[in-house]
Chain A
């Protein structure tokens, strides 16, 4: 039971898909100007919309009293506290790029960065 040609084909296909998706994301979401927004949503419903450049520390509580504390600092967003069981959102690295998100699945809370206007110029040559 050695590694077979089809195994390698499969691996290459998945890698190609991953790389092209990654490239597409970088192309579409990578370029940022200073006016990105931090959007907070629960089940698709918007709870808040703040500038990424702000300094904020906000608590979001759902109908059952479950809490998440979000902080925006130095152009980065992080989840500082949460009383969810897995705390994956708190362990998540701070986000600062367009399209990135921190998601607290147990509380269905989504924080994402959006709307950093894309730069008008493609390349600057010096």
Chain B
């Protein structure tokens, strides 16, 4: 239990560092919402190594902390929406058992973007926010695949994170 708590702290720190790294990369395509989602790497890892409860806790904590550190109250609400949508979809698909970590991560990336568009619609009351939906769908797929491949590599590391 103590060991697990320590590891959870470690993963939270990792997620925060990844959020920070992401905020440093000038990765901007002129369309809001297209980003790598590096912090999801830590969430995926926790989801596979522990379970949904631990991953959920990690997810909420990293959104709140990263929001207070690098964003504002507004960005917290916005990223919570994306994180919640993506997390719910990833958990359900993982339970189904018919997707690999890449498929789950892709579904997560796509639903993250869809969730954010829905919130943007609720905030602005303008259906026009859906204009970039096709691009955001494709972008979520690609970034999700990249993050899924990275998470798979980390999970496959022999000797790392054993005996927890």
Contact = CB atoms under 8 A, between A and B. Distances in A.
Interface of A: 1-4, 6-7, 10-11, 14-15, 17-19, 21-22, 25, 41, 43-44, 85-86, 88, 91-93, 99-101, 103, 105-106, 108-110, 112
Nearest to B145: A11
Contacts of B99: 4, 6-7, 10
Secondary structure of the B side of the interface? helix
B72 A86 contact: yes
Contacts of A103: 32, 120, 124, 126, 128-129
B104 to A, nearest CB: 8
Max chain B C-beta neighbours (<10 A), residue from A3, A93, A109: A3
A68 to B, nearest CB: 13
Interface residues of B, number: 37
Contacts of B138: 14-15, 18
Given A7-B100, A105-B74, A44 B106 contact: no
Contacts of A100: 131
Contact of B134 (A11, A18, A43): A18
Interface in B103-150: 103, 106-107, 110, 120, 123-126, 128-129, 131, 133-135, 137-138, 140-141, 145
Contacts of A108: 123-124
A85 B100 contact: no
Contact of A3 (B75, B103, B128): B103
Nearest to A5: B98
A91 B106 CA distance: 27
Given A86-B75, A99-B131, A105 B120 contact: yes
Contacts of A85: 71-72, 74-75
Contacts of A105: 32, 74, 78, 120, 123-124
Contact of A106 (B74, B100, B103, B152): B74
Contacts of A2: 100
B103 A7 contact: yes
Given A85-B72, A103-B32, A105-B120, A14 B137 contact: yes
